[in-house]
Amino acid sequence: MQYTLLIVLLPLISFIVLGLMDSKWKPQVAGIIGATVLGIITLLSYITAFEYFSFHKINGVYEKLIPMHVEWIRFTQYLHIDLGILLDPISVMMLVVITTVSLMVNIYSLSYMHGEKGFQRYYAFLSLFTFSMLGLVVATNIFQMYLFWELVGVSSYLLIGFYYTKPSAVAASKKAFIVTRFADLGFLVGILFLSFYTKTFDFGVLTSGNASVFASTTGVSFMGLSVMSWAMGLIFIGGAGKSAMFPLHIWLPDAMEGPTPVSALIHAATMVVAGVYLVARLFPVYEVYAPDVLHGIAYVGAFTSLFAAVIACVQTDIKRVLAFSTISQIGFMMVALGVSGYGSHEGLGYMASMFHLFTHAMFKALLFLGAGSVIHAVHSNEMNHMGGLRKYMPITNWTFLIACLAIAGIPPFSGFFSKDEILSACYEFSPYMGGVMTFIAGLTAFYMFRLYFNIFWGKEHKHAHTPHESPFAMAFPLVFLACVTVVAGFIPFGHFVTSDLANYDIHLDYTVAGISVGVAILSIALATIMYRKESEVPKKLATTFAGLHKAASSRFYVDEVYIFITKKIIFNLISTPIAWFDRHIIDATMDGFGGVTQWTSSRIKSFQSGQVQQYAYVFLLGTLFIAALVYFIH
Amino acid sequence: MNFLSLFVLIPALMMMGLFVSKNRKQIQFVMATGAILLVIMSAAVTYMYLTERAAGNLATMLFTADTVWYAPFNIHYSVGIDGISVAMLLLSSIIVFTGVFASWKIDPLPKEFFLWYSLLSIGVYGFFISVDLFTMFMYYEIALIPMYLLIGVWGSGKKEYGAMKLTLMLMGGSALLLVGILGIYYQSGATSMNILEICKTNIPIQAQYYLFPLTFMGFGVLGAMFPFHTWSPDGHASAPTAVSMLHAGVLMKLGGYGCFRVAIYLMPQAAHELSWIFLILTGISVVYGAFSAIVQTDLKYINAYSSVSHCGLVLFAILMLNQTAMTGAVMQMLSHGLMTALFFALIGMIYGRTHTRLITEMGGLMKIIPFFGVSYVIAGLASLGLPSLSGFVAEMTIFVGSFQETDTFHRVLTIVACTSIVITAVYILRVVGKILYGAVQDKHHEHLDPATWYERLSVVTLIVAIFAVGSAPFWISSMISDSVMPVITQLAK
C-alpha cells in the first residue's frame, strides 16, 4: 500500500507551492488547489481504509502494516528517528477522520474566507496543518510522533493568529503555543525516560507485549516513583496539553480567535484529539506497565469533563460554548481509555473511546461549521445578538439540530451509540464513575440545547440587514456532515477498532442506554422550558446561585492563575531579577576589573612624570637607602 | 603546500584585491568572487572528505600537512581536518558569504571594512584547519583583533565601550589559553605542539587539574559561558550587522570547538573529574540566558542572550562526554551559527529601515515588510526548535545524548536544560508578536523600503541552509558522529 505515502506528501507539496507563490496567484486558484489536493487524499484515504479493513485481517486479527519507512537521524546504537507510515486500525480510522473533516473545511472556507486578505496564506497553512496531522497519526515511532506533534503545534499557532493585526488573536496564538509547549516538555522528557530504558522509540516494539523490552525498567525508580510511571505520566502530560485537559485547557477557549473553519478542523475534530490518540497508541504500555497512570488519566478526564461542562452552561459566546463542550467531550474519551482494560470485553472502553473520537469529530465539526454559518450571517459571536434564526437559515438550523441531538446522546444519532459504550465502560469500572459521567452527559444535553434555542429560537434580535442562508460551498459540508452524523452510529465499530485488533460485537446495554437517554431527554426538556421562549428562569437561577454563576462565567479563575504565574512569577520574580543581576552584579564585576586596572594605573602613573628633578630625587633616596641597608647588614 | 591552506590564502588574496580596488563596484566584485570561491572550496572539501572516508580512510585527521616554522621551539604549521572541521568550514563559508551581501552597501570606508572583515575570516578559517596548538592559537588571535576595529569604527550606539569590552574580555580568555597551551606542551613532553602527537602522550593528572580549567575557561569565554558572557550583549549590540553575524555565527563556535579539540581531547582524565563544575556553569548559562532574554527590549540584546543560552547548550553537551551528546553539540554549533546569523542579518536590515531596535517602538511590520517578517518568523521557529529546521535535530540529539548519563546529577541537569525549549518559545513569540503583528506603532514605519536583491540573497541562503540541515540531518549527523569517536576513545582510556 505504497500509495499511502501520497496521502501525507501531497498536502506538504501543496503547502510549499502555495506558500512560495503566496499572493502571486489569485485567491481562487490557491483555494481550488488546496481543496483539490484534499479531495485527492480523501479519496486515497477511503481506498486505504477499504483495502485495509477488507484484506488485511489474518486469523481475525488486523495486521500492522508499515508500507514505508526510512531512517532520518541516528542518535545511538539503538535510538534512531525513523520517518515512516504505520497502518493499523486506529491510524487508518484517523486518516479517514482527518481527511474528511479537512476536505469539508477546505470546501467551506472557499466561501467563508472569501475576500479575506491572506486567503492564499490561509490555504497554505491549512495544507501544512493537514500534512502535520497526517504525519502524526501514521507515525511508526514515538519520536516521529513528537516531531509532527510540534509541527501541528506550529500550524495551530499560525492559524489561530491568522488575523495577525488583531491583538487578541496574536495573544491567543501565543498562549496556545506556549501552554502546549510546556506540556510538550513533559512529553519530551517522558520519551527520554521511556526510550532510555526500553532502548527503542518504535511503537511496534513498545506495544508488542514483549516483556523483555521493559525488563530494565523493573525496580528502577527516580525520586520515589517507578520509571515507567514517570515516563508514561510525563508522556500523558504532552497529550493533556494538546487535548486541553485540566489544568492545561486554558489555551483552547482562546484559540477560538482563529477563523471558525479552523476551529472546526483543528480545535474540535483533529488536533485536540491527538492526546487521546497518543494514549490509545501506547495503550498496551499504559495498561500493563503504568496502570496507576491510566487510572489517573481516567480521573483527570472525568474532572475536566465535568469542569468544562459546567462552564459551558454559562458562556455566552457561541464558539466558547462549543470550545468548552469540546474539552468536555475529550474528557469523555480520556475517561473511556482510563477505565479500559485490554482484550475483547475488558477493552470496551478503548473501543468506545475511539468510536466517540470518530463520531465526535463529525458532529463537532458540523457544530463549528454551523456556528460559522451563523456568525457569517449575523457578524457576531454573542448569543444575545442571535435568536429566531431558524426562519432565515433552515439548512443551518436543521443540521445544527441534528448535531445537537447527536452530542446530547439521543438515538439514533451517532453520539448516542458512542457515548453509550463509554458509559457502559464507566459503570463497569465503578458505579460512581458511571454516575458522574451520566450526570455530565445530562449537562451536555442541557447546554447544547441552551445554545441551540438561543441561536435559532427565542426572541429575534434586530439585525442591520436580514440574515440569509449561507451559499452552497458552506451549506454542502453541513449537509454532508449531518448525513454522516445520522448514519455513523450504525457502523459496527467493534469490527474495525478494538484494543486487541480482534473482532468485538457491540451490545447495547439497555439499562445504561435507558438511563442516559432519560437523562438527556430531561435535560433537553429543561433547556426547552428555560430558553425556547424568553423566560425569567435563567436570570433567577443566575441570581440565586450568584457565586457559582460568576465563578463559572469567569471559567473558575484558572486564567487568572496563569496570568499570575506568567506575569508575576516568571516575568517579575524570575526574569527581571535575573536580568538585573546580570547587569548590576555580573557585568558590574567585569566592568569593575576594568575600573580597578584604570584606578591603579592612574595612581602609579605619577611615577612616570618625566621631571628630571623628581627622578634625581628618587634616585638619590634610593641610593641612600641601599647604602644604609648594606651598611647595617655588615 | 596543502590545498587546505587555500582557505587562508583566498581571504589573503581578497585583501590584496581590495588594496588595488578603486571604487565600490570593484570592492564588491572582489568580495563576492572571494566569498563564492570560499563556498565552492568548502563544498569541494566536504565532498572530498566524504569520498575519502567512504573509501575507508580511518585516520583521525585527513589531508594533513606539516611544515616546520621555527625549529628551536618545535613550532610547526600543521593542518588537517575531520568531520567536525568540515562542518565548521561549511558554516564559516556560508556566514562569510551572506555577511558580504548583508553589508553590500556598507558606509563609510567600505574598503577598510572589508579588509578587516577578510582578515577576520583568515583567522576563523585558519583556526578550523589547524591541528597544531600554536597555529591554532595564532589564528585565534588573528580573529580577535579585527573585531575591535570593526566594532569601534563601524558600530553603533556605545560602540567604543562595546568594542573595548568585547576585545578585553576575549583577550583575558586568550591569556588563560596561552598559559594552558604552553602548560599542555611542556607537561606532555611531546616533541611538537601537534594535537595528534600530544594526545598520544599522557599529561600527568596533577597538571591536568589546573590546565583543564584554564583551557576550558579560556575557550569558554568565547563560547559565552556564564559568568564570562557579558561581552556578548554589549559587543553584539554595538557591532555592525555583518560583524555580529560572523561573530555570533562563527567566532563563538571557536570556543566550543576549542573546548572539544583541546581541553577534552588532550586532558580526558581531568575532563571526567572536573566536568561537573562546568556542567553547572553551562547549565546555568542555558536557563539564565533564556530567562534574561525574556525581559530585554532591544532586539540585539534578546538575540545575544539567546545566544548565551544556545551556546551554553553546546558546552553543556560537550561536557556530557558521550558520543551522542557531543555530536549534538557540534550540530548545535552549526545550527546556532546559521540561525543567529539570520537573526542578526534581519535585525540589521530592519534597523536600517526603522532606525530603532527597541521592540516597544515597533509593531505591525509584517504588513509593511513581509519578506523580513516571514524570514524573522522562520528564524524564530528555528530558534525554538521546530522540526524540519536545524534547531530541532541539534537539540534533540543533545537531549537524547545527555539522557544516556544515568546518575541523578546529570539527569536533573538535563531536565533543567530541557526547560529551555519552553522559555525560548516565550521570548521568541513575545518578540514576534510585538514587532511583526498587531497595529503599526510608528507612523514613519508605514512606508519602509522593500528588501533589496542582496538582502534577499543573504537571507534566503541562510534559510535554505537551515532547512537543509533540519530536513536532511542524517549525513551531517553521521559525519560528525564518526569524528567524535577519537575523543570518546581518548576518554575511555
- Interchain contact, A150 vs B387, CB within 8 Å: yes
- The better pLDDT of the pair B95, B158 is held by B95
- Among chain B residues, the shortest Cα distance to A570 is held by B291
Q: How far apart are CA B404 and CA B221, in angstroms?
A: 27
* Cα of A8 to nearest chain B Cα, Å: 15
DSSP per position, A375-388: HHHHS--BGGG---
Q: Quick one: cell of B491?
A: 576518554
- Nearest by CB to residue A586, choosing from B227, B295, B478, is B227
* Cα of B237 to nearest chain A Cα, Å: 14
β-pairing verdict for A61-62 and A57-58 = antiparallel
Residue B194's DSSP bridge partners are B132
Number of Cβ atoms within 10 Å of the Cβ of B183:
18
Q: How many CA atoms lie within 13 A of B379 on its CB side?
A: 27
DSSP per position, A274-338: HHHHHHHHTHHHHHHH-HHHHHHHHHHHHHHHHHHHHHHTT--BHHHHHHHHHHHHHHHHHHHHH
The model's pTM is 0.91
Chain segment B100-125, per-residue pLDDT in tens:
998 888 878 888 889 999 999 999 99
* Cα of A147 to nearest chain B Cα, Å: 6
Q: Check whether B338 has a pLDDT greater than 90.
A: yes
Report H helices in A138-226. 142-160, 167-198, 203-206
- Interchain contact, B324 vs A76, CB within 8 Å: yes
Q: Check whether B75 has a pLDDT greater than 60.
A: yes
At position B434, the amino acid (one-letter code) is: K
Per-residue pLDDT band at A327 (split at 50, 70, 90): very high
Number of Cβ atoms within 10 Å of the Cβ of A597:
11
Q: From its phi and psi, is residue A209 left (phi > 0), alpha (psi between -120 and 50) or beta?
A: left
Q: Quick one: cell of A56?
A: 488485511
* Cα of A189 to nearest chain B Cα, Å: 7
Contacts of A421 (CB under 8 A, 6+ apart): A336, A348, A351, A352, A355, A356, A506
Q: Check whether A193 has a pLDDT greater than 60.
A: yes
Mean pLDDT rounded to a whole number for chain A: 86
CA dihedral B365, B366, B369, B372 (to 10 degrees): 110
Q: How many CA atoms lie within 13 A of B83 on its CB side?
A: 25
Number of Cβ atoms within 10 Å of the Cβ of B75:
17
- Residue B353: predicted pLDDT: 87
Q: Which of B226, B221, B401 is nearest to B318 (CA)?
A: B401
Q: Which of A335, A281, A346 is nearest to A304 (CA)?
A: A335
- Nearest by CB to residue B477, choosing from A74, A177, A579, is A74
Q: Quick one: cell of B413?
A: 541537569
Coil, strand or helix at A87: strand
- Interchain contact, A571 vs B294, CB within 8 Å: yes
Q: How far apart are CA A571 and CA A580, in angstroms?
A: 12
Asked if B232 and B344 count as a contact pair (C-beta separation under 8 A), the reply is no
Q: Give chain A positions within 8 Å (CB) of B400.
A: 75-76, 79, 192, 195
- Nearest by CB to residue B400, choosing from A154, A192, A587, is A192
Q: How far apart are CA A105 and CA A99, in angstroms?
A: 10
- Among chain B residues, the shortest Cα distance to A184 is held by B422
Q: Give chain B positions within 8 Å (CB) of A161.
A: 437
Residue A87's DSSP bridge partners are A65
Chain segment B249-299, per-residue pLDDT in tens:
898 999 999 999 888 998 888 888 888 999 999 999 999 889 888 888 888
- Interchain contact, A73 vs B323, CB within 8 Å: no
* Cα of A290 to nearest chain B Cα, Å: 21
Q: Give chain B positions within 8 Å (CB) of A170.
A: 433, 437-438
Distance between terminal CA atoms of chain A? 106
State mean pLDDT over B16-29.
87
- Nearest by CB to residue B477, choosing from A73, A148, A571, is A73
Number of Cβ atoms within 10 Å of the Cβ of B387:
24
In total, chain A counts a number of residues equal to 634
Q: Check whether B1 has a pLDDT greater than 60.
A: no
Please check whether residue A578 touches B, CB under 8 A: yes
Per-residue pLDDT band at A54 (split at 50, 70, 90): confident
Q: Which of B331, B312, B485, B327 is nearest to B413 (CA)?
A: B312
- The better pLDDT of the pair B17, A509 is held by B17
- Among chain A residues, the shortest Cα distance to B161 is held by A591
At position A8, the amino acid (one-letter code) is: V
- Residue A525: predicted pLDDT: 86
State mean pLDDT over B306-312.
91
CA A81 to chain centre: 23
- Interchain contact, A150 vs B366, CB within 8 Å: no
Mean pLDDT rounded to a whole number for chain B: 88
Asked if B78 and B131 count as a contact pair (C-beta separation under 8 A), the reply is yes
Handedness of CA A118, A124, A130, A133 (dihedral sign): negative
- Among chain A residues, the shortest Cα distance to B377 is held by A158
- Residue B65: predicted pLDDT: 85
- Interchain contact, A196 vs B403, CB within 8 Å: yes
- Interchain contact, A74 vs B426, CB within 8 Å: no
Q: From its phi and psi, is residue A26 left (phi > 0), alpha (psi between -120 and 50) or beta?
A: beta
- Residue A555: predicted pLDDT: 76
* Cα of A465 to nearest chain B Cα, Å: 30
- Interchain contact, A192 vs B399, CB within 8 Å: yes
Q: Check whether B460 has a pLDDT greater than 90.
A: yes
- Residue A586: predicted pLDDT: 83
Q: Which residue has the cell 554589549?
A: B234
Helix (H) or strand (E) holding A85: strand A80-87
ipTM: 0.91
Q: Quick one: cell of B314?
A: 553546546
Q: Check whether A464 has a pLDDT greater than 70.
A: no
* Cα of B35 to nearest chain A Cα, Å: 27
Chain segment B391-435, per-residue pLDDT in tens:
899 999 999 999 888 888 888 899 999 998 888 998 899 899 888
Q: Give chain A positions within 8 Å (CB) of B390.
A: none
The answer to which of A249-263, A531-545, B299-313 has the lowest mean pLDDT is A531-545
Helix (H) or strand (E) holding B66: strand B62-70
Chain segment B202-243, per-residue pLDDT in tens:
888 888 888 999 999 999 998 888 888 888 888 888 888 888
Asked if B399 and B417 count as a contact pair (C-beta separation under 8 A), the reply is yes
Report H helices in A488-535. 510-531
- Residue A463: predicted pLDDT: 66
CA dihedral B474, B475, B478, B480 (to 10 degrees): -120
For A:553-572, CB contacts with B below 8 A are: 570-571
- Residue B366: predicted pLDDT: 86
- Interchain contact, A582 vs B230, CB within 8 Å: yes
Asked if B65 and B80 count as a contact pair (C-beta separation under 8 A), the reply is yes
Q: Which residue has the cell 556605545?
A: B158
- Interchain contact, B295 vs A571, CB within 8 Å: yes
β-pairing verdict for A80-87 and B75-81 = unpaired
Q: Which residues in A350-402 belong to E strands, given as ranges?
A: none
* Cα of A223 to nearest chain B Cα, Å: 9
What percentage of chain A has pLDDT greater than the value 90? 26
Q: How far apart are CA A596 and CA A415, in angstroms?
A: 77
- Residue A140: predicted pLDDT: 92
- Interchain contact, B294 vs A76, CB within 8 Å: no
Rounded to the nearest 5°, which phi and psi values hold at B362? -120, 165
DSSP state of B55: T
Report H helices in A532-565. 537-544, 546-553, 558-563
Per-residue pLDDT band at B95 (split at 50, 70, 90): very high
Q: How far apart are CA B333 and CA B323, in angstroms?
A: 15
- Interchain contact, B421 vs A181, CB within 8 Å: yes
State mean pLDDT over A425-439.
88
Q: Check whether A181 has a pLDDT greater than 60.
A: yes
Please check whether residue A576 touches B, CB under 8 A: yes
CA dihedral B431, B433, B437, B438 (to 10 degrees): -120
- Interchain contact, B438 vs A170, CB within 8 Å: yes
DSSP per position, B138-191: HHHHHHHHHHHHHHHHH--SSHHHHHHHHHHHHHHHHHHHHHHHHHHHHHHT-S
Q: Which residue out of A590, A591, A593 would a mutagenesis test of the B interface target, given it has the greatest number of B Cβ atoms within 10 Å?
A: A590
For A:182-211, CB contacts with B below 8 A are: 182, 184-185, 188-189, 192-193, 195-196
Q: How far apart are CA A102 and CA A269, in angstroms?
A: 9
Per-residue pLDDT band at A103 (split at 50, 70, 90): very high
Q: From its phi and psi, is residue B109 left (phi > 0), alpha (psi between -120 and 50) or beta?
A: left
- Residue A119: predicted pLDDT: 85
- Residue A510: predicted pLDDT: 82
- Nearest by CB to residue B291, choosing from A74, A147, A575, is A575
- Interchain contact, A582 vs B437, CB within 8 Å: no
* Cα of B389 to nearest chain A Cα, Å: 11
Q: Give chain A positions within 8 Å (CB) of B364.
A: 165
Q: Quick one: cell of A138?
A: 501514521
For A:409-448, CB contacts with B below 8 A are: none
* Cα of A559 to nearest chain B Cα, Å: 17
Handedness of CA A333, A338, A339, A345 (dihedral sign): positive
Q: Check whether A291 has a pLDDT greater than 80.
A: yes
Helix (H) or strand (E) holding B92: helix B83-102
Helix, strand and coil percent figures for chain A, each rounded to 5: 75, 5, 20
- Residue B282: predicted pLDDT: 92
In total, chain B counts a number of residues equal to 493
Q: Give chain A positions within 8 Å (CB) of B414.
A: 192
Residue B42, class by beta-carbon neighbours within 10 Å (0-12 exposed, 13-18 middle, 19+ buried)?
A: buried
* Cα of B455 to nearest chain A Cα, Å: 18
Rg of chain A (C-alpha set): 31
Q: Which of B289, B255, B275, B282 is nearest to B320 (CA)?
A: B275
- Interchain contact, B386 vs A154, CB within 8 Å: yes
Asked if B76 and B69 count as a contact pair (C-beta separation under 8 A), the reply is yes
Q: How far apart are CA A430 and CA A440, in angstroms?
A: 16
